[in-house]
């Protein structure tokens, strides 16, 4: 059934307003003003049909926004001085998803920049002269995946990386994000992504991970950063993706998780919120959208089974409300400015909603004991073109991406091929 636009879908505060409901109502007001322009006049109240042909992804504007950022950022960006690898990753990935070429000059630039973040003792830092950090490592490795090529892959010191990752390992199975840093499920995700791509998975590295992630599931059903902390979209993706890498999504109460995830989609806005009773935000298009793709596999659903969220409504939110037509790029919600982070995650979410990237339950590999089972299982994720559902003009279509890794499939495959031709550090998990 196609989803109609209607003011009936607006939040009902039961005539008892609180700060939460007032904020929600304000956001709906601004979203409503945008959506109503796409609906046949006079029908909005009763169930108007959205004119999707008016929805267009303004690629050129976003590309300009990203290329300007790659060229240079203002002094205010000093607050991201410890997140420099992210700046490169957000930029490169945004261009790649939009199908824009990364020419050889850009490629060299990216490679040289990221290589400077690698620490002699292993891992990558947020910037030169800083301590290695799991997030900086994750972003650096993903940037190199997008750069591609043997020279990029060979520049990563796998042995040092593994040693450093093990020094971050905690007793409870999780990882500190840097020496003396915080321990949370985000760290777990970063480690597993990097280790699975670089072919440095070992039983030691992943021991206790599944148990830790399971403890992060709250009674609401979603996952928080650490046991006991509120369920949150970002940490849910991190935990679920980490479990998917080690083939252990079954440790979670998937039914309760599905319930919480479903509730993230906002009835009026169509986009996702990150927590119960919080506001919609474009970045959750990936965090929650990606989680839905992984959930599909965890529940052994087929491409003939719907995704458990309304894909078209999500795309409408991104296209109608998240594009910043003033400066280019994508944003959290109307009223906020675009930034590289929201640009990448908005595009990732759009991709996951347009395409069906999944695993055929009939043929899926369930072995989790060999290090080689990891790439085998990860590369089973593929695009099912018959299940594509692109909203708006057909040129809105962006590249399909892997829900676990958040990058497109071809660069990912090349990276895996390179690293799994090398000997593993240990044969089994």
Partner 1 sequence: MRIEDSEQAEEAVSLAQQAEWQDITPIEQDEGEGSMCPIAYTDEYRELMGYLRAVMAVGEVSERALALTARVIEENPGHYTVWVYRKRLVEELESDIAKELDWVSEISSKFPKNYQLWHHRESLVTRLWAPSNAQSVSEDQRVTNPVLRRELQFLGAAIDEDSKNFHAWSYRQWLISTYALWTQELVFVDTMINQDVRNNSAWNQRYFAILANRDPSAVHFEADMAKSEIEYVVEHIKLAPNNDSPWSYVTGLLLRHAPSMLYTDLLPRIKQLAADNAYQAAMTLTPFYWSALLDIYEQQAADHPDTKKQLVEESRAICDQLASETDIIHCRYWNFRKTSLDTC
Choosing from 9, 284, 286, 418, the catalytic residue is 284
Q: Is 402 one of the annotated active-site residues of the chain? A: no
Smaller CB separation from partner 1, 2 or 394? 2
Strands 357-358 and 382-383: antiparallel
CB of 16 to partner 1, least distance (A): 4
CB of 12 to partner 1, least distance (A): 5
CB of 72 to partner 1, least distance (A): 5
Residue 70 C-alpha from the chain's centroid:
21
Task: Give me the residue label for tokens 């962006």.
Answer: 398
Smaller CB separation from partner 1, 126 or 358? 126
Give the separation between CA 396 and CA 314, rounded to whole angstroms.
14
Phi, psi of 124 (to 5 degrees): -120, 150
Q: Is 342 one of the annotated active-site residues of the chain? A: yes
Beta carbons within 10 angstroms of residue 427's beta carbon: 12
Angle at 29 between CA 28 and CA 33, to 5 degrees: 110
Choosing from 52, 281, 324, 356, the catalytic residue is 281
Q: Is 133 one of the annotated active-site residues of the chain? A: no
Give the separation between CA 82 and CA 74, rounded to whole angstroms.
15
Choosing from 133, 339, 356, 418, the catalytic residue is 339
Smaller CB separation from partner 1, 19 or 150? 19
Choosing from 178, 264, 312, 342, the catalytic residue is 342
Q: Is 339 one of the annotated active-site residues of the chain? A: yes
Q: Is 332 one of the annotated active-site residues of the chain? A: yes
CB of 119 to partner 1, least distance (A): 11
Choosing from 62, 158, 232, 402, the catalytic residue is 232
Smaller CB separation from partner 1, 222 or 375? 222
Give the separation between CA 127 and CA 371, rounded to whole angstroms.
31
Choosing from 216, 238, 283, 322, the catalytic residue is 283
DSSP 123-175: SBBSSTTS-B-HHHHHHHHHHHHHH-SHHHHHTS-HHHHHHHHHHHB-TTS-B
Among residues 277, 266, 274, which one has the least CA distance to residue 345? 274
Give the separation between CA 429 and CA 53, rounded to whole angstroms.
50
Helix (H, G, I), strand (E, B) or coil at 324: coil
CB of 344 to partner 1, least distance (A): 13
Beta carbons within 10 angstroms of residue 249's beta carbon: 22
Q: Is 17 one of the annotated active-site residues of the chain? A: no
Choosing from 332, 405, 415, 420, the catalytic residue is 332
Give the separation between CA 367 and CA 265, rounded to whole angstroms.
33
Q: 278 Cβ partners below 8 Å, 6+ apart?
A: none
Give the separation between CA 397 and CA 403, rounded to whole angstroms.
17
Task: Give me the residue label for tokens 């998917």.
Answer: 244
Smaller CB separation from partner 1, 126 or 375? 126
Choosing from 10, 278, 301, 414, the catalytic residue is 278
Q: Is 275 one of the annotated active-site residues of the chain? A: yes
Smaller CB separation from partner 1, 75 or 363? 75
CB of 177 to partner 1, least distance (A): 8
CB of 299 to partner 1, least distance (A): 8
Q: Is 278 one of the annotated active-site residues of the chain? A: yes
Q: How many residues in total does the chain contain?
A: 429
Phi, psi of 175 (to 5 degrees): -135, 145
Residue 186 C-alpha from the chain's centroid:
12
Smaller CB separation from partner 1, 236 or 265? 265
Smaller CB separation from partner 1, 329 or 424? 329
CB of 313 to partner 1, least distance (A): 6
Q: Which residues are catalytic?
A: 232, 275, 278, 281, 283-284, 332, 339, 342
């Amino acid at each position: 059934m196609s989803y109609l636009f209607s003011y009936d879908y607006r939040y009902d505060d039961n005539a008892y307003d609180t700060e939460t409901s007032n904020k929600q109502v304000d956001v709906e007001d601004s979203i409503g003003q945008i959506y109503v322009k796409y609906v046949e006049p006079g029908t909005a109240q009763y169930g108007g049909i959205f004119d999707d042909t008016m929805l267009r992804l303004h690629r050129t504007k976003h590309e300009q926004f990203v290329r300007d950022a790659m060229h240079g950022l203002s002094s205010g960006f000093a607050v991201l001085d410890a997140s420099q690898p992210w700046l490169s990753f957000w930029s490169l990935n945004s261009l790649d998803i939009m199908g824009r070429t990364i020419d050889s000059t850009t490629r060299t630039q990216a490679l040289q920049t990221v290589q400077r973040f690698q620490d002699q003792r292993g891992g990558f830092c947020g910037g030169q002269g800083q301590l290695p950090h799991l997030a900086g490592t994750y972003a650096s490795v993903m940037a190199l995946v997008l750069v591609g090529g043997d020279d990029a892959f060979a520049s990563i010191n796998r042995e040092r990386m593994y040693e450093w990752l093990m020094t971050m390992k905690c007793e409870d199975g999780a990882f500190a994000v840097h020496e003396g840093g915080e321990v949370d499920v985000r760290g777990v995700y970063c480690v597993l992504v990097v280790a699975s791509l670089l072919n440095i998975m070992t039983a030691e590295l992943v021991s206790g991970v599944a148990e830790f992630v399971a403890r992060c599931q709250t009674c609401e059903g979603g996952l928080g950063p650490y046991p006991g902390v509120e369920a949150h979209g970002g940490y849910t993706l991190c935990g679920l993706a980490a479990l998917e890498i080690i083939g252990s999504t079954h440790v979670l109460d998937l039914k309760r998780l599905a319930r919480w995830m479903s509730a993230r989609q906002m009835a009026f806005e169509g986009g996702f919120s990150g927590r119960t009773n919080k506001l919609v935000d474009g970045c959750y298009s990936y965090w929650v959208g990606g989680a839905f793709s992984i959930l599909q596999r965890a529940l052994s659903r087929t491409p003939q089974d719907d995704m458990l969220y309304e894909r078209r409504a999500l795309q409408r939110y991104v296209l109608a409300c998240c594009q910043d037509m003033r400066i280019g790029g994508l944003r959290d919600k109307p009223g906020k400015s675009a930034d590289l982070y929201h640009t990448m995650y908005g595009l990732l979410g759009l991709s996951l909603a347009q395409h069906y990237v999944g695993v055929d339950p009939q043929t899926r590999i369930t072995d989790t004991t060999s290090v080689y089972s990891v790439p085998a299982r990860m590369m089973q994720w593929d695009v099912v073109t018959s299940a594509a559902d692109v909203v708006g003009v057909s040129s809105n279509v962006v590249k399909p991406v892997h829900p676990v890794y958040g990058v497109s499939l071809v660069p990912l495959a090349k990276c895996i091929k390179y690293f799994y031709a090398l000997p593993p550090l240990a044969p089994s998990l």
